[in-house]
């Protein structure tokens, strides 16, 4: 079976970890990245093509040159708050870029796609303990809308183009490679765990808690944090599933732990792992922040045989702390 995989956005946070996991599983990853957000030292593919998603011709040439069998697509703008201020780049890249990629796949005769989606397609989420894939898509910001629109496009391409696609809906990606080869370094950084680590390292004056009166055990927001290495394993499982299935279709699958951790719990674990105290400032709720967002992860187990194995919060913070202190 052909093991050549095009990893679009493979020099980014989740893309780099997935490239490492693909190599360990015997695949040959070809990284395609324009380095607008990725890092050259996080490019672990067997081959590298520098290019933008909008360059359909280069994508076709790359797929043909390297005899690509499957595509994993990570290349997206991800800052939900920024998407509200400047929505057009998110639709241009996340939707328009994916249309370019699908055009290239169609031309090159590549039908298998694992798409990096997000729990943001659920919006604020209904009042349920866990969010299942059967819930309607109800995004509340342009970032979430751009991902939901791509999922709709993928569904429509199944019958028309024989597309075999899985959209993996991430919850809160976190942590770093246990061997220190890659980690989280967004610019700007907006994710909670690296922000708290920055406070512990003295790189910011304080960490803010937005809202302490939610209906949660300690009054702060609860989210589902998943180790990035578990996410990477989920992509390998999804790709393997598509290659075994060999039939057109579309599935949306959550990648999460099924357990929630609060903002205060994150802070407490960072303090314990780092051995450092730091200033906390409590502030009012941010508009649109739901109290709890946790995955129903049963479909991932049933369909992919996947479950999180490294997502204990202490492991996540330990690996993130080790990477930050060594590299940032």
pLDDT tens digits, one per residue of 196-255? 999 999 999 999 999 999 999 999 999 999 999 999 999 999 999 999 998 999 999 999
Write out the residue limits of the CATH 3.90.25.10 domain(s) in the chain: 192-223+258-327
Assessment of whether the complete model's pTM goes beyond 0.85: yes
**Whole-number mean pLDDT of the chain?**
96
Q: Mean pLDDT over residues 118-139, rounded?
A: 91
pLDDT tens digits, one per residue of 298-325? 999 999 999 999 999 999 999 999 999 9
CA–CA distance, 67 with 142 (Å, rounded to integer): 35
Write out the residue limits of the CATH 3.40.50.720 domain(s) in the chain: 4-174+225-255
Cα–Cα distances (Å) from 54 to 168, 173, 239, in that order, read 22, 26, 24
- Which phi and psi angles does 10 have, rounded to 5°? -75, -5
What confidence score (pLDDT) does residue 233 get? 98
Residue from 13, 32, 66, 143 carrying the catalytic annotation: 143
Residue by residue, DSSP assigns 44-104 as --SEEEE--TT-HHHHHHHHHHTT--EEEE------HHHHHHSHHHHIIIIIIHHHHHHHH
Per-residue pLDDT band for 290 (boundaries 50, 70, 90) equals: confident
**Percent over 70 (pLDDT), the chain:** 100
Residue by residue, DSSP assigns 206-220 as -EEEE-S-SSSTTSS
- The four Cα atoms 122, 123, 124, 127 give a dihedral, to 10 degrees, of -30
- Percentages helix, strand, coil for the chain, rounded to the nearest 5? 40, 20, 40
Assess whether 170 carries a catalytic annotation.
Answer: no
CATH 3.90.25.10 fits 192-223+258-327, yes or no: yes
pLDDT tens digits, one per residue of 96-114? 999 999 999 999 999 999 9
What confidence score (pLDDT) does residue 158 get? 96
CATH 3.40.50.720 fits 4-174+225-255, yes or no: yes
């Amino acid at each position: 079976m052909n093991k050549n995989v095009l990893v679009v956005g493979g020099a980014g946070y989740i893309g780099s970890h997935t490239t490492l996991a693909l190599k360990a599983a015997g695949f040959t990853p070809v990284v395609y990245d324009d380095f607008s957000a990725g890092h050259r030292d996080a490019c672990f593919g067997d081959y590298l093509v520098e290019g933008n998603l909008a360059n359909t011709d280069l994508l076709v040439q790359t797929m043909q040159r390297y005899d690509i069998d499957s595509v994993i697509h990570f290349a997206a703008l991800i800052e939900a708050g920024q998407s509200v201020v400047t929505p057009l780049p998110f639709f241009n890249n996340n939707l328009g870029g994916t249309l370019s990629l699908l055009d290239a796949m169609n031309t090159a005769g590549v039908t298998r796609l694992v798409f990096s989606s997000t729990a943001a397609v659920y919006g604020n989420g209904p009042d349920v303990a866990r969010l299942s894939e059967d819930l309607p898509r109800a995004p509340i910001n342009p970032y979430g809308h751009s991902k939901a629109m791509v999922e709709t496009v993928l569904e429509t391409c199944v019958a028309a183009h024989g597309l075999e696609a899985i959209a993996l809906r991430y919850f809160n990606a976190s942590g770093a490679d246990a061997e220190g080869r890659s980690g989280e370094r967004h610019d700007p950084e907006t994710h909670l765990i690296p922000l708290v680590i920055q406070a512990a390292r003295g790189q910011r004056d304080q960490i803010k808690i937005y809202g302490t009166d939610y209906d949660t055990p300690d009054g702060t927001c609860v989210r589902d944090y998943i180790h990035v290495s578990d996410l990477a394993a989920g992509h390998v499982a999804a790709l393997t599933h598509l290659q075994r299935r060999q039939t057109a279709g579309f599935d949306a699958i959550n990648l999460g732990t099924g357990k929630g951790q609060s903002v205060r719990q994150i802070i407490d674990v960072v303090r314990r792992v780092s051995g450092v105290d730091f200033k906390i400032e409590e502030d009012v709720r941010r508009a649109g922040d739901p109290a709890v967002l946790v995955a129903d992860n049963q479909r991932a187990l049933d369909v992919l045989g996947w479950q999180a194995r490294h997502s204990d919060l202490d492991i996540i913070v330990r690996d993130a702390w080790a990477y930050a202190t060594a590299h940032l």
